[in-house]
Amino acid sequence: MFDVRLYGDPVLRKTAEPVEKFDDNLKRLVEEMNETLRAEDGVGLAAPQVGKSVKVVVIDTTNGEAEPVVLVNPVIVESSEEMITSEEGCLSVPGISLSVPRHAVVTVKAFDLNGKEFKIEKADGLMAKALQHEIDHLNGIMIVDHVSVLQRTMLSSKLKKMAKSGRDKSQVS
């Protein structure tokens, strides 16, 4: 199991590298990400959130009833004009929930663990939100980037404290 990186960790602001090798290392990474996702009781987890700057995402919208969906090198290829704003949390920003506007429907192209391309067509609801949230992580974007400057200013002391505690914790390991 991995430690989840917190706001302020530089890996969360990098654009992740595409996966080029679909090998046992990738499978081990995904196994540990799935374990971490379950332990943290999350809906989605992107590799940068566990300190790995590669384009890998796991999503479980079933609350543990099914295996998480694994997306390698995911790309949003189509999104609706309709937007929906709803509350979102993030494992890398614990204790903070923000109203984030997202496309109501998205289609995502990705690869599975064996390098086979697939599409998630016209995802909506929680799956659409999770796909956009996790793909944002692969591009160094966090939920705090989707809110107004005023909201971010109001959160700044919490975020600074989180960034400091995250650095202190990561220096220990």
Catalytic residue annotation: 134
The number of residues making up the chain comes to 173
Tell me the C-alpha distance between 9 and 24, whole Å: 27
- Nearest CA to 7 among 170, 129, 163? 163
CA-CA distance, 54 to 115, in Å (whole number)? 15
Which residues lie closer than 8 Å to 44 by C-beta, 6 or more apart? 37, 57, 58, 59, 60, 130, 131, 133, 134
